A and B are shown apart, each in its own frame.
Chain A
Amino acid sequence: MSPLYACRDLVQRYEGREVLRLPELTVDEGEVLALTGPNGCGKSTLLRLLAFLERPASGRLHYAGGEDPRQEVTLLLQDAYLLRASVFANVTLGLRLRRQRQGLHDIYEECMRAVGFAEPGELAGRDRRALSGGERQRVALAARLALRPRVLLLDEPTSSVDARSGRAIVEAVRACVGRGTTVICATHDQALMTALAAREVCLGRRWDESDPAGAASSSDGGGGRA
C-alpha cells in the first residue's frame, strides 16, 4: 500500500532563509505521527506544507488522497483563531462551507462533547470574546472534528492551554485516532505523545545553526521513513 504522504528532499525558505529541509518522510493512512524538535526546526512549517497552505521551495510532496486535499486535510493552529461569530457558527463553519445544512446541531453537540464541553447548548450562542484561551482551542478543534477529516494536523495543541483543556484535547484526538484518522502532531508534550502512541519524528535542529545533512530522525528506526 502506498503511503498517504511521501516527501523527499523537501525544502522551504522564507525570504531566502531556509527554515526546513527534510530528506524523506512517509506517513501511512491511519498513522499517528509526533513531530518533535527544538523551536525553529521547522515543525510548524512542515505542518503548513502538509496542510497545503503553502508550496515548498523545492522537493517533492506527494499526497495519495483525493484530488482536492484541502477538503480532506485540516490543521489546528497553535494559537487557534475563531471568527467574529458565535461558537456554533465557528464549529459548523467548515460544514456550511461545504453547503451542508442538515444535522448541524447534532454534529455541533457531538463534537463539542468530544472536546470536553459538558453543556454545548449553553455555549452555542456565545461570542468568541467570552471564551478563555483553552476554550477557544477546544472550540477550534471541535470545528476540525466536525469535518471528519482524513488527516488531522495539530500544531502544539496543548501548549497554551491549562491541564483540564489539555486532557480534553488529548481525549478528543485519541477518539479521532480510533476512527482511523491520520494524525500528525507537532508537540513537546510527552504525555500527549504517550497517550497517542505516536511514532516520533525528530526534526533535530535549527536550520540556521547547522548543516542540513541528516535532517530528521525517527524514534522507531524508520525503515526509510523519516
Chain B
Amino acid sequence: MEYLADGLAAALHLLLHLDDATRAAIAATLLSTGYAMTAAMLLGLPAGFALGYARFPGRRTLRLISDTLLAFPTVLIGLLVYAFITYRGPLGEWGLLFTLPGMAIGQAVLALPIVVSWTAQAVEGLDPRCRETLLTLGARPLQVARLTLWECRYAIGMVCVTAFGRVITEVGIAMMLGGNIRYATRTMTTAIALETSKGEFAQGIALGLVLLLMAFGVNLLLAFFRRRGRA
C-alpha cells in the first residue's frame, strides 16, 4: 500500500507544480470536450426539443432510435468514426485522425444521443398545464415553443452537464481517434491509462485528482440544476 501513499504525495506535488505534460493533458481534455459539447448541443438541443415538443409521423421511431443509441458502446463509436476519418475513409483527406477535432467528433457522437433523448424527455416531462397556460394567455405557436424551452432550462442544463461528465471521463474514443500523442491528443483519461500501465502512479493519480475535481464541479452544477428544476 506504500506505493499508493507515495503516489498520492507525488500527485499533490505535481498538482502544485503543474508540469508541461500534465498541463497539456488538461488542456487537450478541455478543448476536445468543449468542441464535442458545442457540436452536440448545437445539433442535439433543437433535435431533442423537436422530438419532445412536436407531434409528427415517425416521432416515436426516432425517439426509439435515439434511446437505443444511448447504449451505443464507445469502442464501436470509436471504430465507426475511425473508419470515416482514417486516411482511406471518406473524410480521410481532411486529416482528422489523431487530432483533437477528430477526437471531438467521436465524443460528440457519444454525447449526441444523451442530449437528444434527455432533452426530449425533459420537454415531455414538463407540466402540461404550462402549454395550456401560455395558450390561454394568448401566446402564438412560436411563443409557446420558446417559452416551453425556457421553462425546461434547468432540466436542459442538467442534460448538458450530464453529457459533459460522460464525455470528459471517456477513454476508449480518445485513445482510438486521438492516438494518445503527448502534448497533442493525450487527454487526462488516456494519460492515466498510459501512466498506470507504465507503473507511474504519481502522474496517474495527479491527473485522476484533477478529473475528480472536475467531476465534483460537474456534480455541483447538476445539484444546482436539480434543485432549481424541482421548483
Contact = CB atoms under 8 A, between A and B. Distances in A.
A143 interface: yes
Interface stretch (A29-37, A73-81, A108-116, A161-169): A73-81
B133 A80 contact: yes
Residue among B127, B133, B147 with max Cβ neighbours from chain A (10 Å): B133
A70 B133 contact: no
A135 interface: no
A71 B134 CA distance: 11
A84 B138 contact: no
A19 B136 CA distance: 21
B30 interface: no
A98 interface: yes
A127 B228 CA distance: 11
Given A83-B147, A84-B151, A143 B132 contact: no
B139 interface: yes
Contacts of A212: none
Contact of A81 (B129, B138, B139, B231): B129
Contact of A147 (B137, B147, B154): B137
A173 interface: no
Interface string B124-144: 000101101111111110010
Interface hub of B135, B136, B153, B154 (most chain A Cβ within 10 A): B136
Interface residues of B, number: 19
Given A127-B231, A129-B231, A77 B132 contact: yes
Contacts of B138: 70-71, 74, 94, 97-98, 147
A53 B136 contact: yes
A106 B52 CA distance: 38
A55 to B, nearest CB: 13
A82 to B, nearest CB: 8
Contact of B130 (A53, A81, A127, A140): A81
B129 A79 contact: yes
A77 B137 contact: no
Q: Interface residue tally of chain A, by bracket?
A: 20 to 34
A87 interface: no
Given A74-B138, A147-B138, A83 B133 contact: yes
A51 interface: yes
Interface in B93-133: 127, 129-130, 132-133
Nearest to A70: B138
A53 B129 CA distance: 11
A93 interface: yes
Contacts of B130: 81, 83
A143 B137 CA distance: 8
Given A77-B129, A80-B133, A84-B228, 4 more contacts: A51-B136, A77-B132, A84-B231, A97-B134
CB-CB nearest 9 A-B residue pairs: A81-B129, A94-B137, A75-B136, A81-B133, A129-B231, A71-B138, A74-B136, A97-B139, A70-B138
14 contacts: A74-B136, A75-B136, A77-B136, A80-B129, A81-B129, A81-B132, A83-B147, A83-B151, A84-B231, A94-B138, A97-B143, A128-B231, A129-B231, A144-B137
